Structures are given as structure tokens and as C-alpha cells.
Chain A
Amino acid sequence: MPELLYREALNQALREEMRRDPRIFLMGEEVGFYNGAFKVSKGLLDEFGVRRVIDTPITEAGFTGVGIGAALVGLRPIIEMMTFNFAILALDQIVNNAVKIRYMSGGQLAVPIVIRGPGGPSRQLGAQHSQSLESLFCHIAGLSVVAPATPRDAKGLLKSAIRQNNPIIFIEGQELYSTKGDVPDGDYTIPIGRAEIKREGTDVTVIAWSKMLLLALRAAEQLARDGISAEVIDLRTLKPVDYDTLLGSVRKTGRAVIVEEGWEFCGLGAQIATDLYRRAFDAFDAPVERVTGYDVPMPYARHLEQQALPTAERVIEAVKKTLYR
């Protein structure tokens, strides 16, 4: 299996899907001539031309709305947010149009649109450019949210996202673009709504997604040295959550730690914890622990930033707490 960068895997998915279906187009800031702010769309303009790889002005609300409109007449837009920080400007289009039109029209219309781009804090980008907004999108009825952590999942999930028929938020890890992993050749998909056990274990279930998966795996590695066997689950799809996989694991281990890079309050982890309690209350030997970013805007200074974000040490500490050690 060839080893690819995360961004290359995404690029393959875009390319293969655009070859497969001429209704698909890619639109966003700097996606064409510039080859993408993060080079995910590299070479696509050359292959598909300006009709299908479309540079836009800095107008997130505008071009997202244009994408939704195009979807109403049968196209399958992929809208790139240069980063998800700017998707906030398109929130009205996403919340009030994309996810509502099918319902408001009583099922007459569908909006098959993928809104994708990098998300999550990155290094020293400061308060406006460094944040995890996935929980915000998870809250919105009718929206699916995907956040792959590995190149293989990135490609397979992006293909599934493109092929399904509803608005979907596809959050790529800004800090994951240069990570490497095995990616199967050619066409394959990974189903939306399916988590994956990335490391098996018996003592505690660690639930993470996107960049936090790598952190969780690192923590699990260290915990193994202390004789603690952590099962690490990559959520992959944040909404809908794959509770079957989570519950299966939690019933086995009796403990759970949820790692999330975003803010604690109203974070996705809170929802998951509640659902696990509700559905497997007597499986738990200890309260679910959450490791999250602090409830503050992201500071610029590196050392403050590191403090604001989850670390492997904090994950280990949380795991030990659930084990009463």
C-alpha cells in the first residue's frame, strides 16, 4: 500500500471523484491558480479547468450560497473554506439554507454539498485563526460532520461525503496535512457514521478524533508502559456518532476518557458522555473524564497555547483518574 500525505490522500479523493462525476465542482478561495492555501487542490485546475475549479473572491457567505444554489439544480458542489474559522461567515448560509431547504420544501429539493477545509488549532495563529469549531456544527439539526485523522480515512471519507446527498461538514486537520499513512490504491470508501478502534485495549476507552487521535495514541503508548491497556477509538464521523462501537468498548472497559481539542462547555464530548451514561450506566466504574481545550480564546504565545490545549500528559492523568490510580 502506498504511503501518502494526508493532503495527497484528499487530493486523490477530489481528483477521482471529479473524474467520475462531471457534476462535481470545487469552489473556494485560492483553490485554483494558487493550488489551494494548503495545497489540497494541487493540480486540479490543470486537469479540470476553470469551469470546475473555481477561485472566488473573499466572500464565504457568497460562494457558499452560490454552492447551495447550484446544488438545487442538480450539481454536486465541494466548497472549500480556506480554514473553518471563515466558515463562521457562511454560517447563515449553512444553518438557514443548506440544512433547511430540503425540509422546508417538504422533500422536493436536496442539497448535496460538501463544505470542507482545515480546522482545529494550529501553531501560534492566535485567537481568530486557531479554534475547534466542530461542536458548533454538530449542534445543527440536519448537518453531518466528519473529521478524519488518518490519510486513509481522509480519502475514504471524503469520497463518501461527496457521494451522499446532504450537506456535510468535512473538517480536515490543519496540522495533519503533512502526516503520512498507508492509503489503498484507487477507489474505496469509508462509511459515514462508523468509528474505528485504532488500538485495542481492556482497561479504559479513550475516544478522540482528528488530531487528538494522534495524541490519544501517544498517551496509550505511554500508558502501556505503566501496564494500563487503553483502547483508542477514532470517532471519524462526529455526527452521527457511532454509539455501537463506543458502547461495545465501554461495556468492556468500564471507563471512558474523551479527548477533544475544542472548548469544554457544550463540547461534543459532553454529549457523548451523557449518551454513554444513559445507555450504559451500570457499565461505568468511574465517571467519564474529559480532556479538552481551556474555555479561553487561543493565546498567541507558544507556551500559553500549549497550556491551553490537551496534552498526552493530561490524557494520561485522566485515564489514571478513571482507574483510581
Chain B
Amino acid sequence: MSPAELLELYRQMLLIRRFEEKCAEMYALAKIGGFCHLYIGEEAVAVGAIAALRPDDYVLSAYRDHGHCLAKGSDPKRVMAELFGKQTGLCKGKGGSMHLYDIERRFMGGYAIVGGHIALAAGVAFGLTYQQQDQVVLCFFGEGAVPTGVFHEAMNIAALWKLPVLFLCENNRYGMGTPVERASAIYDIAQTAHAYNMGHSTIDGMDVLAVRDAVGRIVTEMRLTPRPYFLEARTYRFMGHSMSDPAHGHYRTKAEIDEHKKRDPILLFGQQLISRGVAGADQLKAIDAAMQTVVQEAVDFADQSPPTAPDELLTDVLAP
């Protein structure tokens, strides 16, 4: 990978990080409402995986979707405006934090019913195969979705019909307050793919290059020989489940979080860039500053945008 490409990965991770830190601030100011699930700590997965795709490949995500949407190239201004419930938002303020869509960038949505969108991803892949397209579908979901019925139904169908979909499980160890070992009979989540005769592996989700390499290899193969793949990325969320949930409490300790923060993906990658001589600390700082500016501009844009017109309430229910 070229230095520019490497720095681009770094830039994207920082964009997401700064963007979401701002989200927390805006949530506290009540500019953002409802449920707001932050991705802080997991940025390497979205950025690494999406970097390995072509722009015309498809992505679906669950409700913790700001990072995936931004990594797919959506305009931070329009994402922030969506969170603010403004007319200029990606979905005119109708979707909100959990339901971002940017069809132009083939970001096919965030979904808030755990597991529900996994079947949709298989469906998109089916549609592409049907139309003899060579794009692939990347579907993100948490390990909490693995026990759901729809996950298993979708896995079976995708394998049976050889659909080009990459099931990417972001195993951040907790579904709300439930650690994976209390939710799944199989601790080693990737093993579930055995049941469906599907290729699978587990990678370090805190290492953006590891994610990028793995996804790159899988997707190249998939384009040649369409069939699904199950990839488990071990990661960790630094914040609470949502804005209304404390970062630590009954189910995990502050010490545990601090331990994981030592492997903050942005920190790790920054160190790598410096040690490999790709960039100096100053350069990284400059990127950070630039991203802070981008995020501030997004907030300003969202702030200044008009609220969605009242008659929009009744539009977009049915297609013409």
C-alpha cells in the first residue's frame, strides 16, 4: 500500500473518532435525540473493511452505523444534519442515527432490529447475482446478532445459493450488558459458519491493516467465485452501549476498558505509521486538526440547515 493510502486509512479513522466525540457533545446539548450508539474503539473494522471494497460494492450495517456510513464516503455534513433531524440530512431527518442511508454510495442502511438486516444483505447479493453483476455485499453486525434466528436462516441461504456476501461480525464482546459467553453457546463465534459449510476466519479488529488485508483477499476471491464468507473481527467498544448507557457498570469494569484502550486502533496505527516512517507525529497531528475542522463544519452545517419541512411527515411513505 502506498503511503497516501495508509494515511487515508488513518484519516478516516480519525474522522469517525472526532465525529463521534462531537456526537456525544451534541447529544448532551440535545441537538441529537433518541438512541445514539457510538462506534468509538471499533473504527479499524469499518475503515479497514470498506477500504478493501470497490466504491460500487454494497454495505449494510446495524444501528451503530455512523462509522460505516462515513467510511463508505458519505458527507459528514449530511450525516450530522441527519442526526440533527434536518432537511439536509441524508434521509431528510426521517431516519436518524440508527437509520442512515446513502444509496449513491451504496450504503444500504442502518437497521435497529438485531439480526434483521442480515437477510437483507443476502437478498442484495441475490439481486446482484440475478442481474449478473460482480459487486459484493458487506454486512456488518454485532456478535449479539449471531444467536438470532434470522442470522442462521440467512447464512444457510447464502451458502446454499452461493451468494457474494461477506458476513462481518464485529465482536465487541458485549451485546448491551451481556458478554458473548452468556449469549452464545459457541465462544469462538466464527465456528458457527461450520454449520453452513462456509469459509470463515477470525482477525484482530483493532488492526486496520489486518482487517483490510483479510477483507481484500476474501473479496477478490469472492468476485472470482461467488460464495459467502464469515469473518469475525475481535474488537471492543470504549463507550456505553448507547448514549443513555454508562461505559462501565454491572457488566464490565473501568479497568477492563482501560486495558483495551491501550490497543486503541487509532493509537496503534499511528504508532505503526511513525515507526514505519510513513509519517511524522506532526503530520498526524495535522490530520487530526483537519478532521476536527471537518467535524466542526459538519456541526455548523447541520446547525444552520432548516428543520425538515412539516409536510415531509406524509411523504416518502409510498413510492409514486
Contacts and interface: CB of A to CB of B under 8 A. Distances in A.
- Give yes or no for direct A-B contact (beta carbon below 8 Å): yes
Interface of A: 29-30, 33-35, 37, 55, 57-59, 61-62, 85-86, 89, 123-129, 294-297, 299-304, 307-308
Contact of A300 (B34, B147, B176, B251): B34
Given A58-B147, A301-B85, 6 more contacts: A33-B250, A33-B251, A58-B175, A296-B314, A299-B313, A300-B95
- Which of the four size classes fits the interface of chain B? 35 or more
B317 A296 contact: yes
Contact of A307 (B85, B97, B313): B313
A317 B93 CA distance: 28
Given A34-B178, A300-B96, A125 B147 contact: no
Nearest to B98: A126
Q: Is the interface of B mostly helix, strand, loop or mixed?
A: loop
A303 B251 contact: no
Contacts of A128: 98-99, 111-113
Nearest to B89: A301
B252 to A, nearest CB: 11
Given A302-B33, A302-B85, A124 B313 contact: no
Nearest to A56: B183
A300 B307 contact: no
Nearest to B84: A301
Given A89-B113, A124-B96, A126-B99, A58 B314 contact: no
Nearest to A307: B313
B317 A297 contact: yes
Contacts of B113: 85-86, 89, 128
B320 interface: no
B147 A127 contact: no
A62 B146 CA distance: 13
Nearest to B182: A55
A58 B94 contact: no
Contacts of B175: 57-58
A304 B33 contact: no
A127 B35 CA distance: 12
B178 A125 contact: no
Contact of B95 (A30, A33, A35, A126): A126
A124 B99 contact: no
Given A59-B148, A86-B113, A300 B313 contact: no
A297 B33 CA distance: 17
Given A294-B314, A304-B93, A127 B178 contact: no
Interface in B144-189: 144-145, 147-149, 175-178, 182-184
Contacts of B314: 294, 296
Interface in B82-124: 82, 85-86, 91, 93-99, 111-115
Among A57, A294, A301, which residue has the most Cβ atoms of chain B within 10 A?
Answer: A301
B313 A294 contact: yes
Enumerate the 8 nearest inter-chain pairs by beta-carbon distance, A residue then B residue, closest first. Answer: A300-B96, A301-B85, A124-B34, A124-B33, A301-B93, A57-B147, A34-B177, A57-B183
